[in-house]
Structure 1
Amino acid sequence: MKPTSWITRVDVPARQGRAVRVGAGHLVRVSTPNGAQVGDLFAFVSADPAEHLSAAHTRGHVNRLFPRVGEQFVTTGRRPILTLVEDTSPGRHDMLIAACDPARYRNLGHRGPHASCAENLTTAAREAGIEITTVPQPVNVFMDVAPDAAGELEWRSSPAGPGAAVTFRAELDCVVVVSACPQDLVGINGREPGPLALEIRH
């Protein structure tokens, strides 16, 4: 599948988040223009935002750590909400790690304010008319975290090159939120956090 035109584009600046409304059957593509930028992706059912994309339910649904092209992400109600239809990246995405938040940065030794994916989510969702009380575990696109032979997690720099993208088809009317992860104390974002792009095809 190689769509040739995208109707709506929303730039996600480095360290910030953005929300878009996506109708069932529409495509949404997340890309890393400069490469090596992780995106925390969330999706909420428009009719009932309490039902949302669940990484834990999806792992059980597909019986792997990340769906392959053609497979689906499901909600807390075990309903398909997004289908992965194309992936031009090396395919390294994470569904184990929680969204970064102020406590995470304090635990890493940072002092003072620091942007976070949890705060980016609540801000972007509020602008879309959704109040978030609990931050779901995101799908961390372009993020390369893997266990070693001893079971320790290795936090690797994202291998996604410039322009790498993942494309999803919405199976339900939903609100998709993407945060350009501001993590700069663990080297997952290459040299420094960068922007992402969201594109929708109707």
Structure 2
Amino acid sequence: MKPELVTIPARRGKAAHVSAGQRVRVVNTHGTQVVDAWAFNARDVTEWMSMEASRAWFMKLAAAVGDTFVTNRRRPILTLVEDTSGCAHDTLMAPCDPHRYGLLGVEGYHDNCRDNLHAALAALGVTIPATPPSLNLFMNIPWTAEGRLAWGEPVSTPGSSVVFRAEMDLVIAFSACPQDILPINGRLGRTTDAHYTIEGPASRSGPKGS
């Protein structure tokens, strides 16, 4: 049976249960959409995928195929097994929140990845005590030898994707980033849907559903 293609709506979030050994494919459907990603131990959501611990584990600023992300308890949670995007997926920038948009001059509420994360988890009946740093899929943040960063435009192409293998039963969450001021979703600031699939059988004892 072909896995279900699930939409991550533009400017919104989505979360799902994933069993150990299953694969999660995230598709940059239109080629320009950043997707913030998080993963949590399904049995204890205070254990989550940690960007700082992962960088210390694979000793790079960005993961390559074969690298494993670890949790805030230094345990493997997701391994990057395929990548057709041509992008060094950012591990440095914090997920956007209302305070960020206020600093960018927005008056009133603006959709943001922090709130998308919590809303997506709430739809599964999951609450978390804090907002962890995100893995920013398809986000182009170039750096220099001097350590300077820049807001780069997308380098992925429509339909490009990444695939992760779950190393434990987990809850994965995504936000189709609503950033429409900086050029990370393209110079025009056009935010779009993205998609994901969960591939492989769920374990009998593991969590189910999407």
Say if 2:98 is the partner of 1:102: yes
Alpha-carbon deviation of 1:65? 1.1
Contact 2:176 2:194 in 1 (8 A): yes
Contact 1:61 1:74 in 2 (8 A): yes
2:199 counterpart residue number: 201
Alpha-carbon deviation of 1:198? 1.1
- Structure 2: gaps (5+ residues): 201-210
Say if 2:55 is the partner of 1:59: yes
Say if 2:173 is the partner of 1:166: no
Structure 1: distance between partners of 2:46 and 2:173:
14
Say if 2:17 is the partner of 1:21: yes
Provide, for residues 63-111 of structure 1, a one-character-per-residue CA deviation record: whole Å limited to 9, x for no partner. Answer: 0012211110000111100010000101321000000000000000001
Provide, for residues 3-47 of structure 1, a one-character-per-residue CA deviation record: whole Å limited to 9, x for no partner. Answer: xx7423210111000001110000001111111110100000001
2:203 counterpart residue number: none
Secondary structure of 2:91's aligned partner: coil
Structure 2: distance between partners of 1:82 and 1:148:
28
What amino acid maps onto 2:53 in structure 1? H
What amino acid maps onto 2:20 in structure 1? A
Structure 2: distance between partners of 1:151 and 1:31:
30
Structure 2: distance between partners of 1:13 and 1:159:
21
Alpha-carbon deviation of 1:152? 2.8
Structure 2: distance between partners of 1:168 and 1:113:
33
Identity %: 43
Structure 2: distance between partners of 1:200 and 1:17:
16
Structure 1: distance between partners of 2:82 and 2:101:
33
Ranges of 4+ aligned residues in structure 1 off by more than 4 Å: none
Structure 1: distance between partners of 2:21 and 2:176:
25
1:44 pairs with one of 40, 46, 56: 40
2:204 counterpart residue number: none
| Higher share in strand | 1
Structure 1: distance between partners of 2:75 and 2:83:
22
Greater alpha carbon shift after TM alignment, 174-183 vs 190-199: 190-199
Say if 2:75 is the partner of 1:79: yes
Secondary structure of 1:123's aligned partner: helix
> How do 1:181-200 and structure 2 match up within 5 A?
181-190=177-186, 191=188, 192-200=190-198
Secondary structure of 2:52's aligned partner: helix
- Structure 1: gaps (5+ residues): none
Greater alpha carbon shift after TM alignment, 144-153 vs 122-131: 144-153
Say if 2:117 is the partner of 1:121: yes
Number of residue equivalences: 198
Structure 1: distance between partners of 2:64 and 2:197:
21
TM-score by length of 2: 0.91
2:143 counterpart residue number: 147
Structure 2: distance between partners of 1:147 and 1:26:
33
Say if 2:69 is the partner of 1:69: no
Alpha-carbon deviation of 1:148? 3.3
